[in-house]
Amino acid sequence: MFPTTIAGSLPKPAWLAEPGKLWPQWRLAGADLEAGKLDATLVALKLQEDAGVDVVCDGEQSRQHFVHGFLEFVEGIDFAHKVEMGIRNNRYKAMVPTVTGALKLKGRVHATEARFARAHTGKQLKITMPGPMTIIDTIADAHYGDRVKMAFAFADLLNAEARALERDGVDVIQFDEPAFNVYMNHVPAWGIEAIHRAIDGLKCATAVHICYGYGIKANVDWKATLGGEWRQYEEIFPALAASRISQVSVECRNARVPVELLSLLKGKDVAVGVIDVATDQIETPEDVAATIEAVLKHVPKERIVASTNCGMAPMHRDIARAKLQALGAGAALARERYA
Ligand SMILES: [Zn+2]
């Protein structure tokens, strides 16, 4: 009852990468960097296990950014000449690489960290990858001339990596689609179909993570413009409910999302964000249990997973660790009360 997981990322140790940044520079190079990534992965696993997290992640310690960590392994992309692009419907500007040729994987993307994590934890293991819609919103195109066609080309690559991750012993494969909350009409039009392409042939659990973004200023400012009720989920949940995805991960804690919208995810496991990543204030176990209690009225209890609202990559490590503890303790409290 109420198993726990995290959206995906954890802050990196300062000896590995610049702290407090979403696009940090590595502080190691060459073989030291490769070893450091795995050492940090071990720390990330241990912190989750100690906090009582049931479905653990590698903490995304091996990637610089949640989208570009995948793109680095793709042929057909020019990283040398980055261009400025407004992303998430111009919410912020980012320097992005350009697709200049047919897309192809250079080889495995997450094999090293996934196999390492598999070897060092007995818990269920989740690996996250960016979803097709979010990828094409974070890269320029000078080859396909059609962004949806490009999204499906990326979906094929994601599928190849996802199938290999399943063979590596990964239990849950999650696609991060913050863009679903921005381009709502694209979700039923082609977003779900692209995710179906990405999960084709998988037998393991599959998840889609949607949220209102990390706690960076651009996102906090954007949320302030969304009004008293955030109803974006209302437009996309029916399509997700009708999809073949097994789990949907959404932001809840401190979100102005009307909690009854979660009832639209009928038949899906719902990973409920009970930890806000946009504030350094640490939730109490009571806060976590209260969020779960509110969701219980709209989602069957056996379908509720307790999670974080989004990745914790840009947070202070001590804050993230305390929030992990609150997640584990709060879910335990909810189990006592509502199981
Ligand atoms: Zn997120």
CA distances in angstroms from 329 to 168, 223, 278, listed in the order given: 30, 28, 20
Ligand 1: distance of its center to the CA of 212 in Å?
A: 6
Angle at CA of residue 92, ends 86 and 98, nearest 5°:
40
The gap between the terminal CA atoms of the chain, to the nearest Å, is: 6
Ligand 1: distance of its center to the CA of 176 in Å?
A: 7
Ligand 1: distance of its center to the CA of 337 in Å?
A: 28
Ligand 1: distance of its center to the CA of 273 in Å?
A: 10
Ligand 1: distance of its center to the CA of 31 in Å?
A: 31
Ligand 1: distance of its center to the CA of 213 in Å?
A: 5
For residue 66, which of 90, 87, 91, 42 has the smallest C-alpha distance? 87
Buried b (16+ CB within 10 A) or exposed e, 128-167: bbbbbbbbbbbbbeebbeeebebbbbbbbbbbebbbbbbe
Tens place of pLDDT per residue across the chain (339 aa): 999 999 999 999 999 999 988 788 999 999 999 999 999 999 999 999 999 999 999 999 999 988 988 999 999 999 998 999 988 888 888 889 999 999 999 999 999 999 999 999 999 999 999 999 999 999 999 999 999 999 999 999 999 999 999 999 999 999 999 999 999 999 999 999 999 999 999 999 999 999 887 777 888 888 888 888 888 889 999 999 999 999 999 999 998 889 999 999 999 999 999 999 999 999 999 999 999 999 999 999 999 999 999 999 999 999 999 999 999 999 999 999 998
Ligand 1: distance of its center to the CA of 37 in Å?
A: 22
Ligand 1: distance of its center to the CA of 123 in Å?
A: 23
Ligand 1: distance of its center to the CA of 202 in Å?
A: 23
Ligand 1: distance of its center to the CA of 146 in Å?
A: 26
Which residues fall within 8 angstroms of residue 222, CB to CB, at 6 or more apart? 88, 91, 212, 213
- Contact present, 311 and 214 (Cβ < 8 Å): yes
Q: Residue 88 has which token pair?
A: 């998430």
Query: What count of other Cβ atoms lies within 10 Å of the Cβ of residue 113?
Result: 23
Ligand 1: distance of its center to the CA of 4 in Å?
A: 16
Give residue 54's pLDDT. Answer: 98
Ligand 1: distance of its center to the CA of 312 in Å?
A: 9
Angle at CA of residue 147, ends 146 and 150, nearest 5°:
90
Within 13 Å and on the Cβ side, how many CA atoms surround 239?
Answer: 21
Ligand 1: distance of its center to the CA of 9 in Å?
A: 9
Q: Is the dihedral of CA 162, 166, 170, 172 positive or negative?
A: positive
Whole-angstrom Cα distance, residue 34 to residue 32? 6
Give residue 23's pLDDT. Answer: 81
CA 95 to chain centre: 21
**Which pTM does this prediction carry?**
0.95
Ligand 1: distance of its center to the CA of 286 in Å?
A: 23
Ligand 1: distance of its center to the CA of 79 in Å?
A: 24
Within 13 Å and on the Cβ side, how many CA atoms surround 243?
Answer: 31
The full length of the chain comes to 339
